[in-house]
Amino acid sequence: MNKQLITLPSPDLRERSKKIGLISSDVADLISNMETVTLEWEDSRDHEVGVALAAVQIGVLQRAVVIRKDFNDKQNREFKVFINPEITKYEGEIVYDYEGCLSVKDIYGHVPRYSKVRVKAIDEHGKEVRTTAEGFLARVFQHEIDHTNGIVFVDRIHDDEEAFFVLDDDGKLSALDYETEIKNNEQLWQTE
């Protein structure tokens, strides 16, 4: 398998992925491909970390997600694997924070998410995992599980005129003008 990263406006990113049945060697290949793509992306960027990826982002419509083991240490290039992940409970409060996506070039959003979620999934060996995530990890799970359901983060802030930002060459975020740069941006929104 040698799949490449896909980005908006690819319509695949708005498709719902299918549940994975047997954890076969095909799934192991898929996971390995996802990890490679994430790390290659990170290595090509100066200011960003490849935090996580869903299979749909390499054009494979299966419910698999990989999440970096340590967001704060780029040297740690290991991932945790979540197959058929689902949120079983939303907890805490709604919090806003900046969010980016490998499939949305250069645009960041100020996105509302729950501060705490409970997640159920299976790992790469087919073993059930249950975890409670808080803070940034809770955000990452909501973002990635959205991907498995065909939702991109920009869809969560579609009408929020203050929520869109661009990452400049120095790694700083600056606000984008909603009317001219976002509202009718054909890269972002699906046109019927």
Question: Which range touches Zn ion (CB under 5 A), out of 7-15, 36-44, 98-106, 175-183?
Answer: 98-106
Q: Which residue is nearest to Zn ion (CB)?
A: 101
126, 23 contact by CB (below 8 A): yes
The least CB distance from residue 103 to Zn ion, in Å, is: 5
The least CB distance from residue 55 to Zn ion, in Å, is: 12
Residue 131: helix, strand or coil by DSSP?
Answer: strand
Question: Which range touches Zn ion (CB under 5 A), out of 97-105, 111-119, 130-138, 184-192?
Answer: 97-105
How many chain residues touch Zn ion (CB under 5 A)? Answer: 1
Binding Zn ion (rule: CB under 5 A), the pick from 56, 81, 101, 140 is 101
The least CB distance from residue 25 to Zn ion, in Å, is: 26
Given the residues 78, 144, 161, 186, the one annotated as active site: 144
- Tokens representing 65 are 């997600």
Question: Which range touches Zn ion (CB under 5 A), out of 74-82, 99-107, 157-165, 183-191?
Answer: 99-107
Angle at 130 between CA 78 and CA 39, to 5 degrees: 20
CA distance 33 to 5: 10
| Residue with smaller CB distance to Zn ion, 6 or 20 | 6
The least CB distance from residue 53 to Zn ion, in Å, is: 7
Active site residue 144: yes
The least CB distance from residue 101 to Zn ion, in Å, is: 3
Amino acid type, 132: T
What region does 106 belong to: left with phi over 0, alpha with psi -120 to 50, or beta? left
Q: Lay out the site mask for Zn ion across 32-71 (x = CB under 5 A, - = otherwise).
A: ----------------------------------------
CA distance 181 to 16: 27
The burial of 9, by beta-carbon neighbours within 10 Å (0-12 exposed, 13-18 middle, 19 or more buried), is given as middle
- Tokens representing 67 are 């999440």
CB atoms within 10 A of CB 39: 16
Q: Catalytic amino acids?
A: 144
- Which spans of this chain sit near Zn ion (rule: CB under 5 A)? 101
